[in-house]
Structure 1
Amino acid sequence: MVLAIAGSDSSGGAGIAADIRAAHDLGATLRFALSAVTAQSDRQVTVIHPVPPDILREQIRLALEDGTVGAIKIGMLGSVAAVETVASALTEYTDLPVVIDPVVSSSSGRRLLDDAAMAVFIERMLPRATLLTPNLPELQILAAAILDAAPPATIAEQAGVLLGAGTKAVLVKGGHGQGDNAVDLLFQSGGDTPYRLASPRRPVAIRGTGCMLSTAICVALAQGGSLAASCRRGKDSLTILFERAAAAQAGRSDRG
């Protein structure tokens, strides 16, 4: 059993809908607490309506009160109030692993975390994260916000900035990188060499992959996996998804 705290995506591609699919594919039950309701498509986000803090807080309380949730995944929060509400709610559950997918902007490019919310997110959420799962642009944005300056030049240095801010581990996703393989790098506090996870890069576009990866890792942690093994399991589940999508696309092309 896992809890996902994130926003809804009316297109069904990302957000809570993607979290539910990922958990179901791994045979897990997912409870969720909605942080925001959005109106969006593959091309744009037109409305973001924050869930009132008291309702968000009550969703979290009821999801966790019976003690059956084994890990928590946090996605889009979207406002200062949501960040503060979630951070406060989790102070009672310090034993649970927390995987944070730092949703800074939508796939269509709309900013989902403004400067004020970013500052509170860095101060209150990063120290609570068992694992942070930024893509390359998110990594740079977070590092720059922490330093209040241009980010360092290398991925390792940027990840080090996040670790220095209190995050226990950072999985840098390689989907925005170059090359034949999509390479994710797991940096851990106190570790010297990152754990490398590679998979063939597929020429297909799928929305919600960050949501699904972080939820899959969360499920694996809830089931007792180590951090590295849980990241591997999450990566493998995403690789299967891309392989199926590529095969389906090839089949459509063959049929003309």
Structure 2
Amino acid sequence: MSRNRTYISILSIAGSDSGGGAGIQADLKTFSALGCYGTSAITAITVQNTLGVKAIHKVPAEIVQGQIKAVMDDIKPKAIKMGMVHSAALARTIALTLKDYPNVPIIFDPVMVSTSGHRLIENDTIAMLQQELFPLAMLITPNLDEAEILANMNIKTVDDMKHAAEKMISSGCNAVLVKGGHLNGPDLFDVYLDQSGNHKIFKSAAIRTENTHGTGCTLSSAIAAYVAFGNDLTNAIGQAKRYVEQAIISGKEVKTGEGKGPLNHFFDAKNLIKTTVI
């Protein structure tokens, strides 16, 4: 029996959401919906549902490192999605570990604040993320709350988003996608900028729904999937945004829990999948 074929695999380094809508759970659903083989290195276990985060249990750094190495050395993912990194020590450990795999693109969603407004990151961790992990990432995808923290400024307009992206690029990021989903208005704008000066604004219509839990995790995971398929970064972002938009539309009337519900990741899985093996 031949074993020459392989799945297109992706590693998610992120926290676990017991409610199933965000974090590792959203990442694995997204990878599967888009035809990839999902693997994981869990950084934290959250007590969480659609109403918010109640508690966080941190996984020891050496266990996180072990999970990463176990997957990278054996399954050899074609891309990495990174999410919740809650401490400076963990950020340092992950950075040292990933430097052994320099050719694998990393999409980093720097999770700092949950949808419900719960702070998920320790204060001394931010500088370590900027110093150690951001330079390793192909792209970082902060939302407005996170971009305000990283750029140290208030963001109220698309021009503010552009300025925040410029500040993050000047601090050493390779490419930034500032997500504008929290701005009020009939349209949504995401601002892309990279070290070469390439700039693009992604525009989409706002969708009226409370079911947006895990949107950021899903978008960054989808970008990683499309990068793994060989797309360049801006094309991967565009395709990922279309996937997320349809997942939101498909799940906007579904009731899951008493708070902010999740997206419908498998709204059209059969037609979304490009390939399962190569």
Q: Same fold (TM over 0.5)?
A: yes
Equivalent residues of 1:3, 1:63 under 8 A apart: yes
- Return the structure number with greater helix share: 1
For residue 213 of structure 2, what is the aligned residue in structure 1? Answer: 207
1:198 paired with 2:203, answer yes
Highest relative contact order (Cα 8 Å, sep 6+), 1 or 2?
2
For residue 64 of structure 1, what is the aligned residue in structure 2? Answer: 72
Gaps of 5+ in 2: 1-8, 256-278
Give the deviation of 1:68 after TM superposition.
2.9
For residue 161 of structure 1, what is the aligned residue in structure 2? Answer: 167
Q: Provide the C-alpha distance between the structure 2 equivalents of 1:61 and 1:68, rounded to a whole number of angstroms.
A: 10
Q: TM-score, length-normalised on structure 1?
A: 0.90
CA gap of 1:45–1:247, structure 2 versus 1, over 3 A, is closer
CA RMSD of aligned residues (A): 1.6
Which amino acid is the alignment partner of residue 227 of structure 2?
A: L
SS of the residue 2:252 aligns to: helix
Give the deviation of 1:248 after TM superposition.
5.2
For residue 106 of structure 2, what is the aligned residue in structure 1? Answer: 98
SS of the residue 2:237 aligns to: helix
Gaps of 5+ in 1: 145-149, 250-256
1:157-202 superposed Cα distances (whole Å, 9 cap, x missing partner): 211111112111111112111222222121111215x212222211
For residue 238 of structure 1, what is the aligned residue in structure 2? Answer: 244
Q: TM-score, length-normalised on structure 2?
A: 0.83
The counterpart of 1:223, out of the listed 219, 229, 249, is 229
For residue 18 of structure 1, what is the aligned residue in structure 2? Answer: 26
1:44 paired with 2:52, answer yes
Which amino acid is the alignment partner of residue 203 of structure 1?
A: R
Which amino acid is the alignment partner of residue 125 of structure 2?
A: A
1:108-153 superposed Cα distances (whole Å, 9 cap, x missing partner): 2221112211111111111111101011111111111xxxxx4688
For residue 43 of structure 2, what is the aligned residue in structure 1? Answer: 35
1:47-89 superposed Cα distances (whole Å, 9 cap, x missing partner): 2111111111110001100363111110001112221111111
Equivalent residues of 1:183, 1:197 under 8 A apart: yes
Equivalent residues of 1:101, 1:211 under 8 A apart: yes
For residue 123 of structure 2, what is the aligned residue in structure 1? Answer: 115
SS of the residue 2:172 aligns to: coil
Q: Provide the C-alpha distance between the structure 1 equivalents of 2:29 and 2:91, rounded to a whole number of angstroms.
A: 25
CA gap of 1:108–1:72, structure 2 versus 1, over 3 A, is same
Report how many aligned residue pairs link the two structures. 243
For residue 12 of structure 2, what is the aligned residue in structure 1? Answer: 4
SS of the residue 2:36 aligns to: coil
For residue 187 of structure 1, what is the aligned residue in structure 2? Answer: 193
